[in-house]
Amino acid sequence: MKLEELQKETTQLLKYFEYPLEVRFVFTGLVYRNKPVKELSGKDVILKADLFGAPLDTHHDFLNEAKLSAIALAILLAAVRLQPSTDLEVLAFDDVLIGLDMSNRLPFLQILREQFADHQIFITTYDRAWYEIVKQRTDPKHWQHIEFFAGRTDFCELPIYAKDKQYLDRARDYLHKPDDTAPDYKAAAVYVRTHFEYVLKKFCDQHHLPIKYFANLKDMNTEHFWSVIKTAKTDAGDDVVDATLVKDIEVFRSKVLNPLAHAEEIVFHKKEVEDTIQAVQDLQTRLQSLKGFEIIPA
């Protein structure tokens, strides 16, 4: 029966969320009566949930919103997987993850990557933080990151479509403005510093590198990530980042990449910012080339 297939597929997808949950679909069967009135009963499919192998009679009252949302998503995705394949496979999600915390959102992305790679997927959200996380967790070779803004004319508002750019590209935009507009070196420096931090955090996350813990995340800065990466080695004994590039990054960190270097008395020069952009780009290229290596912290 299709319900049995759906039940099995849903339970498999729920494993991504690492919940000790199983679901069952109870269908007693249709019964037709024509007396005293014509009636078709037994039409409902009842969802039952087991937690740690024990049935939950009132799972909708016992489970929190995140777990209930995870079950709903698992059922939806399981049903999609059981559909006959077509030439055009599309999935669209409009802020369906509002009820999920981050520990549930990341498994959802993993399901999409591993189980729906042959689908065209649209994810829309008003949550800026979630948008940035999805950007970090998706390959730009296969995903496009788009922003929509409200533009105004003399008569009405119009949606503005803007393809998102990497922070380094935005830095270059501020650095190389049209001839009639002065370059904004400070803005460029801020975007370079943001990209530098993004590259470091992404690499440490991908390779599970140990970072100093702070209860207050605001106490963390790029030094805690950079100090681990610049001293790490590959399993072949090579430096993750060669000495020359480490030296270049250290020089630019003292001024352009320093978050305190944006006061009025700090003067940036175009060559400094350009060289910093190139150094960060070289660092990103180097770290991205190490995907097939085991990284060993110092």
Residue 230: its pLDDT value, please?
92
Give the DSSP letter of residue 118.
T
37 Cβ contact list (under 8 Å, min separation 6): none
Rg, the chain, Cα only: 26
Name the pTM for this structure. Answer: 0.65
**Segments of the chain scoring below 50 in pLDDT:** none
Q: What is the DSSP string of 130-196?
A: HHHHHHHHS-TTT---EEEEEEE-SS-EEEEEEE---HHHHHHHHHS--TTS---HHHHHHHHHHHH
Q: Which of 117, 98, 97, 94 is nearest to 107 (CA)?
A: 97
Residue 99: its pLDDT value, please?
63
Domains annotated for the chain, with CATH where assigned, are 2-124 (3.40.50.300), 167-296 (no CATH)
Residue 76: its pLDDT value, please?
92
Residue pLDDT, tens place only, 140-154: 788 888 888 888 777
Residue 280: its pLDDT value, please?
92
